[in-house]
Amino acid sequence: MSAVFSSTSPSVHAHGAGRGSAPTQADLLEFVRRTAADTALIDSLPLDPEGRTWVRLQGPGGSEAWLIGWPPGTGTGWHDHADSVGAFLTARGELRENALAARLPTDGWKTLELTEGVDRPRLLPAGQGRAFGRHHVHEVLNESTEEHAISVHAYYPPLPRIRRYSRTGQVLRLEQVERPEDWQ
């Protein structure tokens, strides 16, 4: 069972992106870093013992931003953010990101065989995060068996779609394409 809390009310504002210009990956990373340091905001996220919870935030320069709670043992599954660049940072707990260091075709395929050596795992304890470019394929996991994790995410342009994948060994298969109306 998954509880979802979605709101546009938290008043977290960006200071990095120039007025009228698109935020860069560095702007998004600065935003998630600054937002994760807001302990009152982090503490305000309702946590569910079984499913992820989230709150929508006001990101820099028209970006889409989220505060996400991760119960022990939960994750996203393999996915990408299509044409959006992004950044995320662990505010509490520890997350693992498994990413692919390979540029995949953006459309026109259902199954790909990945070459050896494309996997890039990284642990992101509280205070650690990263920015990423377009078509970045990854999964994010809370591998703890006892502790919730909380993270802050930002994407620009706002997510036009998310492609979800399954992975068996070195075979990556496109399973589903989600649009904003599927998660908002």
- Which region, left, alpha or beta, applies to residue 131 given φ > 0 means left and ψ of -120 to 50 means alpha? beta
pLDDT, residue 78, reads: 97
pLDDT of residue 9: 33
pLDDT in tens, 64-120: 999 999 999 999 999 999 899 999 999 999 999 999 998 777 778 899 999 999 999
145 part of a folded domain: yes
Q: pLDDT tens-digit profile of 129-167? A: 999 999 899 999 999 999 999 999 999 999 989 999 999
What string of DSSP letters covers 45-68?
S---SSS-EEEEEE-GGG-EEEEE
Q: Is residue 131 part of a domain?
A: yes
Residue 3 lies in a domain: no
User: pLDDT tens, 119-129?
Assistant: 999 999 999 99
Predicted confidence (pLDDT) at residue 17 exceeds the cutoff of 80 = no
Q: Give domain status of residue 34, yes or no.
A: yes
Q: How many domains, in total, are found in the chain?
A: 1
Is residue 3 predicted with pLDDT exceeding 50?
A: no
Residue 125 one-letter amino acid: P
- Residue 12 belongs to a domain: no
Residue 1 falls within a domain, yes or no? no
Is residue 125, in this structure, part of any structural domain at all?
A: yes
Across the range 51-61, mean pLDDT stands at: 96
Q: Note down the domain range covering 74.
A: 25-182
pLDDT score, position 10: 39
Phi, psi of 165 (to 5 degrees): -125, 155
Query: Looking at the domain assignment, is residue 10 inside a domain?
Result: no
Instruction: Read off the pTM.
Output: 0.86
What's the CATH code of the domain at 160?
A: 2.60.120.10
Q: Which residues contact 20 (CB under 8 A, 6 or more apart)?
A: none
